Structure 1
């Protein structure tokens, strides 16, 4: 339905809220929809056969507000698609939006979406999705590059970049458009159903508008008793569900005559999904690694179009995929950590750096996969590695080593490094320091910056020389980290680095924590008595600091450590993606992770 008058009474929305065993959070979701105002004609709440009080809670809300309609499924569907389809079938307003029971709509979201729909006569309007970490409240935008400014896309099938947003809940849909093209979610137990729904949407050549305003808040609860599908990635069934949904989406696009879109979807999967699971692979069990490696090689070897997608992917994703293809089984632990670092965002290519028989950069001497395209990357785009050795104390010292990449950094001329400590909860910069790089020197006193010198160091080896050939060093001394103010009893501070080069380019990255020196220290403080300072390596090896002021903060760190030890000793969690498990996820599968 195309609207031209912003004051027409037809400008009304049905909000479909789906819920399963979520009596605690669903009232907030429904209230956030009702609070959107007069444009909300109805809230259709679908209780997918909950075993708790979800149905009763929704019935109580409906008795107080006539706009709320409750539908009770008698049998759990096993997924998010069926309850959404139920709500869509019952919707009466010309526009429809989807909302999950543990998320909320921010104030003014529907007004903003409807305004853009009216102005541009759109079939679909998409807005920014905020990923909010609970309980600390940190918010990160999903696919921010797609939502920098308001823009009209006349035909989604001609805009491959839009495929990077696989989320269905941050969009307002003209119901007539969905009905006319038969666009529905896969029914039953189908994890990552958003992949298929959005593929059907883009294949239908929707007239789509994007707005930069936040219109959906995805609330991430990592400590929840039952993790969402997008967070429960530690089972091989989760990966297989994701791959199955990806293949279904690609088939949908190809069958609709959109081969270029299908190719773009393959590249997106490599650059986002493959890299995400590779980052976490060192954390998984040996059995998981074997299954994942075999399944992924089968996916990458599947057809010529996937081979083309691998070659078209950006450098970190391309090199990672080629390395998986080259190795018949999972790499050893050091190799997996190195591959995970390459798959990071930003990616880091860890030393040692090897060259093949032709002199070209390769992954390793034992696995000579060529790092094709490395020589064409500018210094600002290189997957550089900066090592950091920390000496914690009242005045903390950080010794940095920047490793050259086959001469690429030497040509640009490293000049200085700027470190920022960023509060993980608020994204606030608490401290900024700068130091000058010094090129390493050889025994004869000459500066050593060879064009193609492998760096003879092993990843994470505390005994590595800090001034290896083809590297630069810098020292930052006197950091008074105990004075950093925290948003809670314990604050986590991530370390970000900006590398400045003589040619004017800037490379933004994180720094790798050298294991030596990662120890907890108690630092006296005039106001807080003492502050517990703990440098540590994150799951991808990046340096971060925990700062815990006073006794309360110290107890929080000790309690968190005890909890991690206890979880490690518990039996493995069952695979929630297998058919034997009847519970349904309450999260959308678009996975803005």
Structure 2
């Protein structure tokens, strides 16, 4: 038997979840720390025989430094498993790690050194996650420099990073404060870290990279109703805990962050859900927002406050449209709703215009939507119908017309762009017929998908649908979406350039950004067998796969119309071309 370390410096609690490879990576990163006194406690949350075998191998490989315990049933979150790990932790400090994530080689040494030098109960460090552009730091505004705070009152912004795994806790502090994770609720990190921050004296912050989050993390969608209900319950408990500690300003910060950041993100992703699911989600959010002080809207930000007020009204469409106008990252706002004008002021449409709160929150006059150049606006449009007729696809929809600025007098024309969502500037164009009547803008297009869209099947698996309208001298960009009924069940044939082994069908779906899109999928036996292996190979060699030479696609034809005989189809000489425009948000 191996020697048991008498007094480890750090216990790393790892919850075994997912595949055995991810668990092995996590445990190995903890065992290979530059700080020698590190032990690992693995908690297997009813992962079944594969997880049990993987855990047994890890224990056998480092018996003096790795111990394992098992839960007999899943608890619905990490709380119960982490609490079990805390029960058996022997280190002077404790850190948490999710299977698949890894610690930086010097993470434990950095954290323990900072805690010892400052006498800190809690040390927070920087976590990063792989992205298409390289490495992305989570909450960079928090970890720009080394800091020491007497209490959380001196740095309330630390509550923005509610993850428990990029922090190091003095175990005596956790025991003294009886700090444990709530069980059977997801998002327990938020409550645990809030309680830890509220009690810790002092708190150290280090700018060093501590945690690498897995790029393959497959969490529950934030719009899942059960997950969202758990989040709201955790928020309620967090607000109550902070107020019980006399920290009203901290409770308001947590609530304002939900209203200003989390809720808009969820509303954007809600477009990919069924209408009934959307309404149920909004009703859950409405119940929570109704419990908050309405003055909190002022702390949430301009457009997020509109989204929250629309949720309070139960107006799902207007709430999602407000979230579209508050895009994530550097994306451009999408105006997906038609504002209204009252007494010379411009308002977001809603039922609260007769109340002082509604007039104050919904007044968007200073956004200049009535005076900004049309080409400066990115509008929202909805695909109302998608219908196959033989090989041809008929697509039609409507476009938001802010304050009636688009009309017959502007000489409307346009094209439907089918954009590679991961390669800037690569798109295929389809002419559309545009109509304007009584202020409503409509459009329709007919094309043969497998003649127009020729993906390789690997680097270009998803294609967004966008509309470019020509209105006089201006070109207006329109992001297209769907309410879930137009595209449901739509499947189109496709012929990837890497043969049908790379996919044999296109499926319609609404992306998390809200845009209606098509993705390459596999239905037949060759593609179902080959596509997973091809995609794994692409991930291993990177995304720099050269595109095969592009051939001009033939004119589209309907099964009832011979090629070139229908004037609408004759005008369509579909070619893949580089437009010089990006693919929109991804």
Structure 2 residue 262 is matched with structure 1 residue 273: yes
**Within 1, Cα distance between the matches of 2:110 and 2:289?**
39
Contact kept? 1:535, 1:545, Cα under 8 Å: yes
Once the two structures are TM-superposed, the CA of residue 213 in structure 1 deviates from its matched residue by 7.0
Secondary structure in structure 2 of the residue aligned to 1:487: coil
Partner of 1:588: none
| Shift of residue 267, structure 1, vs aligned partner | 1.0
What's the TM-score, normalizing by structure 2? 0.63
User: Structure 1: how far apart are the matches of 2:477 and 2:8?
Assistant: 45
Where does residue 361 of structure 1 map in the other structure? Answer: 347
Query: Residue 354 of structure 1 contacts residue 363 of structure 1 at CA under 8 Å; is this kept in 2?
Result: yes
Are the counterparts in 2 of residues 33 and 104 from structure 1 also a CA contact under 8 Å?
no
Match of 1:375 among 350, 355, 365: 365
Residues 296/85 of structure 1: CA separation in 2 closer, same or farther (3 Å cut): same
**Structure 2 counterpart SS, 1:30:** helix
Deviation of the 1:90 alpha carbon: 3.5
Contact 1:59 1:70 in 2 (8 A): no
Counterpart residue number, 1:351: 337
Verify: 1:146 aligned to 2:140, yes or no.
Answer: yes
Which runs of 5 or more residues in structure 1 are unaligned?
Answer: 1-9, 133-137, 222-227, 410-416, 435-439, 444-454, 458-463, 468-478, 500-506, 560-593
In 2, Cα distance between equivalents of 1:118 and 1:11: 15
Quick one: distance in 2 between partners of 1:381 and 1:259? 42
Distance 1:365 1:13, change over 3 A: closer
Q: Would you say the 8 A contact 2:419–2:465 is kept in 1?
A: yes
SS at match of 1:108: coil
SS in 2 for 1:97: strand
After superposition, residues 431-450 of structure 1 pair within 5 angstroms as: 431=426
Retained in 2: the 8 A contact 1:310–1:321?
Answer: yes
Superposed counterparts of 1:510-521, under 5 Å: 511-512=480-481
Match of 1:83 in 2: 81
SS of alignment partner, residue 15 of structure 1: strand
Instruction: Give the match's secondary structure for 1:191.
Output: coil
TM-superposed deviation, 1:385 = 2.8
SS at match of 2:42: strand
Q: 1:163 to 1:493 in 2, by over 3 A?
A: farther
Q: How does 1:27-38 map to 2 (within 5 A)?
A: 27-36=24-33, 38=35
| Aligned with 1:546 (options 500, 519, 525) | 519
- Given that residues 10 and 95 in structure 2 are in contact (C-alpha distance below 8 angstroms), is that contact kept between their aligned partners in structure 1? yes
Offset at residue 373 of structure 1 (A): 4.8
Per the alignment, residue 11 of structure 2 pairs with: 14
- Alpha-carbon separation, structure 1, partners of 2:51 and 2:61: 16
2:192 corresponds to which residue? 197
Q: Which moved more, 1:550-559 or 1:240-249?
A: 550-559
Q: CA offset at residue 195 of structure 1? A: 0.9
Deviation at 1:105, TM superposition (A): 0.4
Highest relative contact order (Cα 8 Å, sep 6+), 1 or 2?
Answer: 1
Deviation, 1:43, is 0.8
Q: Which SS does the other structure have where 2:43 is aligned?
A: strand
Name which one, 1 or 2, has greater alpha-carbon Rg.
2
* Cross-structure match for 1:262: 251
* Change in 2 beyond 3 A, CA 1:405/1:352: closer
SS at match of 1:126: strand
Q: How does 1:277-296 map to 2 (within 5 A)?
A: 277-278=266-267, 279-280=269-270, 283=273, 286=276, 292-296=281-285
Unaligned runs of 5+ in 2: 1-6, 328-332, 407-414, 445-449, 470-475, 533-586
Q: Verify the 8 A CA contact 1:338 1:349 in the aligned structure 2.
A: no
Mapped partners of 2:125, 2:107: distance in 1: 11
Q: Offset of 1:77 from its aligned partner?
A: 7.7
The separation in 2 between residues aligned to 1:119 and 1:481, in whole angstroms, is 64
**Structure 1 residues 397, 53: closer, same or farther in 2, change over 3 A?**
closer
Q: Distance in 2 between matches of 1:291 and 1:543?
A: 22
Per-residue displacement from partner, 1:263-314 (whole Å, max 9, x unpaired)? 111111113333344342773574x66665554333222243xx12223212
Cα distance change on mapping 1:537 and 1:97 into 2, 3 Å? same
1:487 pairs with 2:474: no
Query: Structure 2 CA distance, aligned partners of 1:246 and 1:70?
Result: 34
Aligned partner of residue 126 in structure 2, secondary structure: strand
State whether residues 143 and 205 of structure 2, in contact with CA within 8 Å, keep that contact through their aligned partners in structure 1.
no
- Tell me which of 62, 72, 75 is aligned to 2:69: 72
After TM superposition, the structure 1 = structure 2 runs for residues 54-69 of structure 1, keeping only pairs within 5 Å, are: 54-69=51-66
**Aligned equivalent of 1:322:** 309
Q: 1:115 to 1:24 in 2, by over 3 A?
A: closer
SS of the residue corresponding to residue 362 of structure 2 reads coil
Equivalent pair of 1:21/1:53 in contact (CA under 8 Å): no
3-state DSSP of counterpart to 2:203: coil
Distance 1:198 1:374 in 2: 37
Q: What residue number does 2:555 align with?
A: none
In the other structure, the counterpart of 1:127 is: 126
State the shift of 1:34 in Å.
2.5
Task: Quote the offset at 1:44 in angstroms.
Answer: 1.2
User: For 2:42, which of 16, 39, 45 is the aligned residue?
Assistant: 45
**Aligned with 1:43: secondary structure?**
strand
Task: Give per-residue Cα distances to partners, 1:523-549, cap 9 Å, x unaligned.
Answer: 778885999685845156404343579
| 2-structure distance, mates of 1:160, 1:249 | 14
How far does residue 95 in structure 1 lie from its aligned partner after superposition?
A: 3.7
The alpha-carbon deviation at position 17 of structure 1 amounts to 0.9
| Alignment pair present for 1:206 and 2:199 | no
For residues 313 and 365 of structure 2, the distance between their equivalents in structure 1, rounded to whole angstroms, comes to 21
| Counterpart Cα distance in 1 of 2:229 and 2:420 | 35
Q: Compute the RMSD of aligned alpha carbons.
A: 5.9
Q: Is the 2:44–2:68 Cα contact (8 Å) retained in structure 1?
A: yes
Instruction: Kindly state the Cα deviation for residue 97 of structure 1 after the two structures are TM-superposed.
Output: 1.9
Distance 1:498 1:262, change over 3 A: farther
Cα gap change, 1:420 to 1:96, in 2 (>3 Å): farther
2:177 is aligned with 1:182? yes
Alignment TM-score, normalising by the size of structure 1: 0.62
Equivalent residue number for residue 472 of structure 2? none
Contact kept? 1:16, 1:97, Cα under 8 Å: yes
Q: Distance in 2 between matches of 1:140 and 1:185?
A: 35
Query: Which residue of 380, 389, 400 corresponds with 1:385?
Result: 380
* Cα distance in 2, alignment partners of residues 381 and 152 from structure 1: 42
- Alignment match of 1:243 (pick from 232, 244, 259): 232
Q: Give yes or no for contact 1:421–1:495 (8 Å, CA) kept in 2.
A: yes
Aligned CA distance change for structure 1 residues 382 and 141 (closer, same or farther; 3 Å): farther
Q: 1:104 aligns with which of 101, 110, 131?
A: 101
Distance of 2:50 and 2:208 partners within structure 1: 37
Equivalent-residue separation in structure 1 for 2:452 and 2:116 (angstroms): 51
